[in-house]
Structure 1
Amino acid sequence: MEKLVILKLGDGSLDTGFSVILQISDAVYRPTAELTGSLPPASRLRQILQRWQTAYRRLGLPYRLEARKEGFAKNISRVEDCSVVAQELTEEFNRWLKAETFRPLWDKLLEQLTLQDQVRIILQTQQTLVQQLPWHTWDICDRYPKAEIALSAPTYESIPPQPINRQQVRILAIFGHSQGIDIQTDQALLNHLPNADIQFLVEPNRQQLTTYLWEPQGWDILFFAGHSTSQTNSPVKSIGQLSLNPTDSLTIPELKHALTKAIKRGLKIALFNSCDGLGLAQALSDLHIPQVLVMREPVPDRVAHEFLKAFLEAFARKETFYLAVREAREKLQGLEDYYPCATWLPIICQNPAELPPTWSTLTNITSEPIVKPLSKSSWQVVLGASLITAVVSFILLGLRQIGIFQNWNLWALDQLMQLRPRELPDSRILIITITETDIQAQDAEYRRGSLSDEALSALLEKLEPMEPRVIGLDIYRDFPVSRHQPRLVNQLQTNNKLLVTCKTSSADKNIPGIAPPLEVPNERIGFSDFVTDSDGILRRHLLALTPEPVSPCQAGYGLSTLLALRYLAQEGLEPTASSNGYLQVEDVIFKPLAPNFGGYQGVDAGGHQVLLNYRNLPSLDQIAVQVTLSDILEDRVNAALIRDRIVLIGTTASSMGDYWLTPYSYKTIKGEQDTAGVFMQAHMVSQLLSAILDRRPLIQTWPEWADILWIVSWGAAGSGLVCGIVYGIRPRAKFYLYWLLMGGLMLELSLFGLCWLGLVQLGYWLPWGGAAVSIVISMAGAIVWQTQNTIADLKDEPI
């Protein structure tokens, strides 16, 4: 509900006190309460106000008060001084309004107003000093979020305007003398207003301005930007002056006849985005203009621009005048570290006999939509769209449950992954690759697999003084160390930075498993098992599992998991269990995949799996800095590359067969392009570190019911689009097919854009595939449904 509160201050001053009359009216402005009270003398309040005005004007800001050639140099001491005095003034002001003689009026306000009310508070006084007080800091504005305060002259009257029907808001924008200030921004902001007819006057003379004010069609809003000042010649009166151009200035009384005529012809709002405007507002109140919006003190350019932008945006979107001013004023708080007391500057001056206009009432265009009853044919359209949506959704959701769309959804995820912005390699990881050349360079007599005992021992010896944080050996060693290398036994047993790998067995899949090195204790062993989808692509990251009792590899955590946890432990971050029993580090919870996770349907979700969020690089093997085994053994690597990093050791030789398909794989002439397993381990380690240390999102999905609603909604959009087009432009068959094609394309592009944004910005895998199919099938069903309504048009106007 809207409430009007009028606070009338009688004769008096801050030195002698005031008698006060409080009136409260409801939405139709019928008085619901009236009380009398008084405010005591407040000489100290007057002194603090004057101190604040002096402190504010000493800030040295580039005000619109006068032209300044020098730039603004922030003076910290002056800013702090102004802020301190402002706080003192606010406290003293509210202390004054809590006086015992005023307390009954305050209690009545609390009794009559609710938090939901839109409250217009109008202060009627002729005292300039009282108008200069920071009324917006009154506690009532904090208590009621939809309250705003305006000033008013003690005397006022309503002037019935001449009836003029306008379809656009007419604005006369005057840009006066602007040396040293930026008024181009004001003009650009006005140009963005919807449904507005704006006439710009740049540095006009008095005759030009008068001529425009006399225009017969009238104006709705008068806007001024430029230099202005107010001079107080008595405690109750200020004189405002506008600078029209470098040589001409004038006061409001000098425009009295032109402004009076403009008010009679519909002028509702005068907006002065200039300095020191109380004198202008007082002069305009004598002409009984409905609304005036001014800046009570000198205003910096930046503040003027930000307020104008916020006010116009709120007012043009049909917010009430008072709430638009409050919203814009409060947004200025973000500037107050640089422009102290910016929120103190805007003030409304109201003619109480007039209702505040809205953007719609200025043009006589109602803001209420005209709702027409649906005809019989339109009800058929709604029924058809609803029936098609229901049937298509039932069929698609049934197919989804049996996994028909799984491969399509996975392919769609792959495309979205590849279209993400490029990322940088992970600087916390270094990879030592064992190439085909490195293998051939080793002594074949003692080498088993890709790395001989001698080479491994030499490698560990070289790495130790380089101080890596943790080392991961992504090479199977299910055999004992040769008797010719007793030093390697000691290295494997005592090097606590070294983690090794093994492979678990699976009776169901006939996988025998691979044992870990015999010399390494269990706490430094992690499995290297990967989980691929039915198309052979690696999209999931297996963090942990429970091995079969007979498995030669009894590691419970993956090698990548152990490497990441060891690295994080040295950062002081230890893993815990969430309330659901999931792995948690800090506030990052690694929620495991469910069998129906996202686009998956009935997938094997054994162990603790998450989706693998690859770093998007030109090539997946660019995940981290790489050196070869020979580079390390021949001392060609700077120790700084190794120090405090995770070092991964693995083979890239094609003869070893450790290659995997990824969402980034593509078919070449020679076959599938795939990626070495050591790079896969690096991506997995990077995912865990980045999720915790960099806040890089893990890939998540909605609950299954939300996925279903998503698919149904897009199907409804497709069928609704077809039925709406058929109903709207059926007689024009040429345009019918054109709009069907364009509408379907726009729906699919919108779906793709939302899925891409969801993955990139939030890390959510939205079911693109099912929704895309839903759109197509729903549109096709709707076309069939509407064929009986379009066949006649297609015959009459062949395409």
Structure 2
Amino acid sequence: MSKLVVFSFLGGDLNKGFPVVTAQLWHHNQFLLVKLTGSLPAVPELSELYRRWQLLYASVHQRLGSNQRIKVHSQDIITNISVNDFDEVCQQLQANINAWLKFESFQNIERQLRTLLSRDDEIRVVIETNIVLLHRLPWHLWNFFEDYPKAELALSNHEYASPQVLPKSPTAKVKILAILGNSLGIDIDQDGTLLEGLTDAQTTFLIEPTRKELDEHLWNLDWDILFFAGHSTSIADGEIGEFYINQTEVLTIPQLKNALNTAISRGLKLAIFNSCNGIGLARNLADLNIPQMIVMREIVPDLIAQEFLKNFLIAFAGSKPFYLAVREARERLQGLENEFPCASWLPVICQNPTTVPTTWQELSGNFGDPKFVSEVSIKGKISTPKSKLLTVLLSTFIVAVSTIGLRYLGVFEKIELQTFDQILRLRPNEDPDPRLIIVEITEKDIQSRQETTLGLKSISDSTLATLLKQLQKHQPRIIGLDIYRDFADPPNKLQPIKLSPEISKENVVVACKSRDSKYDPQGVKPPKEVPVKRQGFTDAIKDPDGIVRRQILMMAQEPSSTCTTRYSLSLQLAARYLSSEKIQSKFQEDYVQFGSKVFNRLKPGRSGGYQQGVNLGGSQILINYRNTDYQRVSLQDILSNKVNADVLKDKVVIIGVTANTVSDTWSTPYSTAQEDYQEISGVFIQAQMVSQVLSAVLDQRPILWVLPYWGDILWICGWSVVGSLIIWRVRSVSDKGCAIVAIVVILYGVCAIALLKQGLWIPFIPSAFGVVVSGVIVLFIQRRREFSTTPQPLLKI
């Protein structure tokens, strides 16, 4: 799965810090999954350390005598330097970069990204900035890249646009314009030999061309790749790049701007400058919106440039994705670092974030492999419509079965859950539930009271008793206590109101927490004065990405658990409220029923998008979040009699802590939609759970539910078959592509309407996958049959 992460450094510099750093996570350049904001502090020592590393790097390589693709000026050389000294500076630079990126505000970005990224994801990380020094830093030393083996770094300027490319006919060859420039003192013949060895490429060599010759080739012919080997450098503090096309002429990118713009519009997708100090060249080329570039950060020895090019071409032409091919070729250079220190630091990608990285097959337009075609003539065959249809149906069936198998293995689970969240967020804001009100214990409430308590408590028993007594004066229907009271405080002679009589009232429901031998061997016991019929557990369950999407209504407790109730706090509160409305309830193992409304549990093992590694034990249902805030009052407002009696009368009152010093915050499907990733306090989750039961029973609000497993299978198979038949009937290739897009859009609309209007969560991602793959296979079958009915020349091995 391809992911794009774009870090933007807005304003500031290393000396002043970066007050705003944004991170955007995209799915394959198409869907923005999340945008996060943080900051980074000033690190002036990092720029000084990098400058020292740069001087030592040039000096070490000059001492070792390696041929560089740039002349190193004598004034830039430090003579009294050892390799050990240089190694120490390298380690310091790596340590400083990682220490800087551990700043708490930036760490929040990284932590949230890690919840959305998988170790197996192909991740393109783009550093977007206009500061040259940030482009020069060895970002690949960030520990993040060690944890994600399929992640690779790219650089970008702040400003870019999608290149305007004219349509062109595909060819069977990748067209490469190779400029072999000034080679005085270096060996670039090996670069040419490597390019010549590409069997499915057509390489045109310009050996020490004049400016006019180069300009005419860029204007008059179509190119897929522009390659340069020779001397180059960056001047004006890295703002401008120069490359030496022959022994007398030096060019900058702006001097070729018109020709390069034309080449890009005619399909130039990749520029490779296998030469020294290419950051300036990359920055100037990026201004022309070229899709991708590969340059060398610093001076580069001949052997390193040649080895990188060789390994990159082998990987890229061998069908590896562009970023993974660069990472593999770059990391292979580490084996040469005894002779060429920091060789693996040099190659870097520069990327236009609006474009998807190209592939070798895309450049050549050849998705087949003629090497496996034997030396026989291909005779035309005519197929009947019936045989074509059977082939299409059989292929679609195989795709559908494979899709169901992949879903069964959990391949789509993460993205299915994210799509579920995305659809839920399409709903407009709803009105607050008028039946609920939250009494929140805020940070101010806690700090304003210096009370003696036993154990970790937000407020003392005496304060809680006073709060309950005050609440009872306003005649609430139910009071839910979403704070634990497993230990009593020492007696307080100055406080005559005791907690025990207050929590013994019939309309008060208290919380406890289940014992779990695996995750929570202790649990939290309820107050001993409260019978089990007025107890409710508050256990919550997170999905693998840390988001709470499910509510546990009932579950059996372990025999040794001090929390013995089978019912959750939210179910207890909802059931008591509905009982007062004369609505009968029925609690069964597989469902909970209030009147005519039935809440069916998610089936253990597999249910909806949950296919692998998720505990669906107990009686769990999906939470139908209400996209709104809840009416709330503070502890101090109640104790100070600032709340009107009508606000609390006949309501479900839930008491909970919202102070940020208490670790009781949770992620919801709406958290990722916030500009700053935002978790909510547990008491609001409880309110959502109570509200969804009451709203479903009293307001006919949809209950979220899923199809049985066989229903999902029929749905996926049905869309795959219908989609493939529609695509089969469409004639042109472009119309088939439009048909695939239209079917997927319609499918998304159907899934969205079903979820938002009826509460039915039906599988979009596997169905869309089946439609797309079936459509591609139908296209392949028809193109193959068209090809087979046309006389073809003999192909040789």
Question: How does the TM-score come out when normalised to structure 1?
Answer: 0.49
Structure exhibiting the larger radius of gyration computed from Cα positions: 1
Greater RCO, 1 or 2 (C-alpha within 8 Å, sep 6+): 2
Alignment TM-score, normalising by the size of structure 2: 0.49
